[in-house]
Amino acid sequence: MAPIVHSLYHAATNTWTHIVADPQSRAAAIIDPVLDFDPASGRIWAEQAQATLDRLHAERLRVAWILETHAHADHLSAAHWLQRRLAAEAGAAEAPRIGIGAGIRAVQRHFGQVFALGSGFAADGSQFDHLFDDGDCVALGSMQIDVIATPGHTSDGISYHIGDAVFVGDTLFAPSAGTGRCDFPGADAATQYRSIKRLYELPDTTRVFLCHDYPAAGVAPTAQTSIGAEKTGNIQLRADTPEADYVAFRRQRDATLPVPRLLYPSLQVNICAGRLPLADGAGRTFLRLPVRAEI
């Protein structure tokens, strides 16, 4: 069966949020939702998340899950914001659950130390409602969400296979853009190669929904490709690309890439399922910025 998919693009972070729905029951999942954030002013708002909510209302969908493909390093997750809004509409008993891969625990342990969050920070994934392991299956109305572990870009990467569609996070980009970088803590190019090869075992007609696209000026962003198109046309990893060649290429290229602009704000929020740090007595919220003084 083919799920219904609505894709919303956030140009400021080049991120796709996907709403995937069972056409029979109208049960839906939101995948990789985004908050708006201006680091210069410190302003965080929910224009993109509201657009996601508006689309859900327009399509009369009932959200069962809010799913993250990994702890993103380039945008703040709107998972918690959406969960609160949807719970207020439907009642707490029908609030959607926030899910992510079980590898989030390793990401939390690492960045808990980076941000000096101390012993009060729980690095056990409990900020999320459900942690997925490879091979897990959960219902989405009359359809099924099959979880495929796809680490490599990050240690917690997972893909969601639903009917004839798969949602791959940053593991794959459009064929002309290649694959996700592998230089974050816990990342590994050889691991990513094997993850992508697992995805390439899906039928060639499988629709591949991307988390990011970085089009040239005047070119529309790409939300969807296919397993067949990736296997034959991905400029960095085709079906016949040797692992050693890919690993060598990925390591060389990653050494030239800049640090993501929103790395520290994103991870500080995203390891907590989109929750901001608690406000102080004056109602102020602060994000930590580790600095490396070389003076």
For the stretch 53-98, pLDDT in tens is 999 999 999 999 999 999 999 999 999 999 999 999 876 667 899 9
Answer whether residue 2 shows pLDDT above 70: yes
Determine how many CB atoms are found less than 10 A away from the CB of residue 239. 14
Q: Is the pLDDT of residue 235 over 70?
A: yes
- Look at residue 245 and tell me whether its pLDDT is greater than 70: yes
Considering the entire predicted model, what is its pTM? 0.96
Query: pLDDT at residue 192 above 70?
Result: yes
Residue with tokens 């034959």: 232
| CA distances to 15, 32, 214, 261 from 256, in Å | 22, 27, 17, 15
The yes-or-no verdict on residue 165 having pLDDT over 70 is yes
**C-beta neighbour count of 275 within 10 angstroms:** 17
Q: What is the pLDDT of residue 90?
A: 77
Lowest-pLDDT range, 2-6, 68-72, 176-180, 214-218?
214-218
Tens digit of pLDDT for each residue in 15-50?
Answer: 999 999 999 999 999 999 999 999 999 999 999 999
Distance CA 67, CA 17 (A): 10
* pLDDT surpassing 70 at residue 8: yes
SS3 for 171?
Answer: coil
Closest C-alpha to 241, from 205, 202, 194, 188: 194
Task: Output the CA angle 85-89-95, nearest 5 degrees.
Answer: 70
Arithmetic mean of pLDDT over the chain:
96
pLDDT, residue 269, reads 98
Mind listing the pLDDT tens digit for each residue in 91-118?
Answer: 666 789 999 999 999 999 999 999 999 9
Question: CA Rg, the chain, in Å?
Answer: 18
| Rounded-to-integer distance, Cα 19 and Cα 179, Å | 23
Identify whether the C-beta of residue 100 lies closer than 8 Å to the C-beta of residue 64.
no
Report the run of H or E that residue 7 belongs to, with start and end: strand 4-10
Helices 243-254, 189-199: crossing angle, 10 deg rounding: 130
Torsional sign, CA 39, 42, 47, 50: positive
Q: Distance between CA 216 and CA 207 in Å, rounded? A: 23
Domains of the chain with CATH codes: 4-257 (3.60.15.10)
User: What's the CA gap between 178 and 95, in Å, rounded?
Assistant: 36
* pLDDT reported for residue 93: 63
pLDDT for the residue numbered 75: 97
Q: What confidence score (pLDDT) does residue 1 get?
A: 77
Percent of the chain with pLDDT over 90: 95
- Sheet bearing 15-21, strands edge to edge: 4-10, 15-21, 27-31, 62-67, 97-101, 130-132
Most distant pair of Cα atoms in the chain: their distance: 62
What pLDDT sits at residue 92? 61
Q: CA of 127: how far to CAs of 17, 49, 102, 123, 273, in Å?
A: 21, 20, 12, 9, 6
Instruction: Over range 125-137, report the average pLDDT.
Output: 98
